[in-house]
Amino acid sequence: MVARHFRKDFDKIVNRHGWSYKGGRGWRTRVIYETNLRTAYQAGRFKQLTDPDLLKRRPFWRYKHSDSVLHPRPEHLSWDGLVLPHDDPFWQSHYPPNGWGCQCKVFAESERSLERKKLKPGKAPPIEFEEKTVGVRGPSPRTVKVPKGIDPGWAHAPGRSWVASQTPGALDSNRLLPPSGNTVSRAGARVRPRVAPATRLLPDDLPEDQYIDSFLAEFGAASGDRFKVFEDVAGTPLMISDELFRDGKGELKVKKRGRQRYILLLADTIKTPDEIWEGWGKFGNKEVLRRRYIARWKVDGEETDTLAVYETGPQGWVGVTAFNVDDKKNLEKQARQGKRVYKK
């Protein structure tokens, strides 16, 4: 799709939803089109760079600032030429693009290629945070904390959630894991639904980032944080972040399946589950150990089941998805598989 085709679709969407946007049509469509194009490219690039065979040959990543930018950000310029190991925590929040219009890139390097360029692996600069106000033109402006030099909502690597979902991390060899093959162990009946106050259901029409803020606040986290470590009821540390509500390209999909209304109950499901199940499953070409948190709720006479899914990744247990489940048979198929490791 080229920009002129995108503009035709853009006009249809604006007319259909009655969206009032800032700036001229040409400028607005160019910003959206180029941002989506660069983000999609970088997500695919991230997938290439994290290929295990490539990482063996080129284990270092080099930050490259684009010389074509007319008004470069000082921080992005300061990162130009920075060489770090591919698994340095710096890349979790500083893998480009790092803001609107950012054209920075990352290149894979080997020891030999670095020698030819007369470069050496360095040390990640300290990450300074600053507060910024977002949503000033909307009904609910708020202050968020973000790494300096990165626009709000950009402190993540596009494509990282896809890679994490395909690659299980190293596990503690002393820990007894459920066997592969989805061995089922359903002992005892499921618990009765818990009654939750109506305030745990949110309106359907809030901005996506407001739902994210509400979810993260339940764990003492905030937008702009890379993650928050939370210890579940069984003593297992989980990484709390907005990855639970992003797709494989790293884009927010909070309103998928209508789950935005249940966002607080999804947080409650992780904090105080009725059951926790662990089991192996094949996703893509990889066998992955997943941990599923299940809870049953009753709000204003309405019953619903909620599910949060985590899996092993390079940083431990990372979030995959969370949603409400209307079909009880589907819940049995998706969640109560493997071995139950906790029951309330």
Instruction: Return the amino acid letter for 236.
Output: T
Averages of pLDDT over each 10 residues, the chain, 344 residues: 68 72 72 73 80 90 85 91 92 86 91 95 90 73 83 70 43 38 46 90 90 91 74 87 78 84 94 91 73 92 88 72 74 76 88
Q: Quote the pLDDT of residue 195.
A: 94
Same domain, 134 and 204: no
| Count of residues making up the chain | 344
CB atoms within 10 A of CB 145: 14
Q: Which domain holds residue 294?
A: 160-343
State the helix-helix crossing angle for 3-17 and 25-49, rounded to 10 degrees: 110
Same domain, 191 and 339: yes
Asked, for residue 115, whether it belongs to a domain, the answer is yes
Same domain, 139 and 194: no
Asked, for residue 120, whether it belongs to a domain, the answer is yes
Asked, for residue 155, whether it belongs to a domain, the answer is no
Quote the Cα angle for 313-253-236, to 5°.
Answer: 30
Domain total of the chain: 2
Same domain, 197 and 130: no
Q: Please choose, from the candidates 185, 179, 196, the residue with its C-alpha nearest in 3D space to the C-alpha of residue 267.
A: 196
Asked, for residue 219, whether it belongs to a domain, the answer is yes
Does residue 60 contact residue 83 with C-beta atoms inside 8 Å?
Answer: yes
Same domain, 194 and 103: no
Question: Sign of dihedral through CA atoms 265, 184, 162, 126?
Answer: positive
Q: Quote the pLDDT of residue 313.
A: 63
Same domain, 164 and 276: yes
Same domain, 170 and 298: yes
Q: Quote the pLDDT of residue 197.
A: 94
Rounded to whole angstroms, how far apart are CA atoms 152 and 74? 17
Same domain, 172 and 116: no
